[in-house]
């Protein structure tokens, strides 16, 4: 198996293991054509969708702070641009 495939499978398992736990993190990500979403790791459906990147970022940070976990902020190409860690 190619190295990239192995890494991808390990990453999927990592996120799958955290899904639905207090360790699940929130991501502000591009969504559809022009919108943005806040997604919780391991869930297919977004917690929030919006036309505003700044709203998605604010909500991801708020949700992560409330949960005592992390918020990952992605750029328009889907790459992680910033991260914020919150502890309870």
pTM of the predicted protein model: 0.76
In terms of Cα–Cα distance, which of 30, 38, 43, 32 is closest to 61? 38
In terms of Cα–Cα distance, which of 64, 66, 62, 71 is closest to 28? 71
Q: Per-residue pLDDT tens for 35-85?
A: 999 999 988 899 999 999 999 999 999 999 999 999 999 999 999 999 999
In terms of Cα–Cα distance, which of 26, 15, 14, 88 is closest to 62? 26
């Amino acid at each position: 198996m190619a190295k990239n495939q192995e890494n991808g499978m390990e990453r999927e398992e990592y996120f799958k293991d955290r899904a639905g736990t207090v360790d699940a993190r929130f991501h502000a990500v591009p969504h559809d054509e022009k919108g943005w979403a806040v997604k919780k790791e391991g869930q297919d459906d977004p917690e929030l969708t919006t036309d505003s990147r700044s709203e998605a970022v604010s909500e991801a940070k708020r949700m992560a702070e409330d949960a005592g976990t992390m918020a990952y902020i992605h750029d328009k190409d889907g790459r992680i641009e910033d991260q914020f860690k919150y502890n309870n």
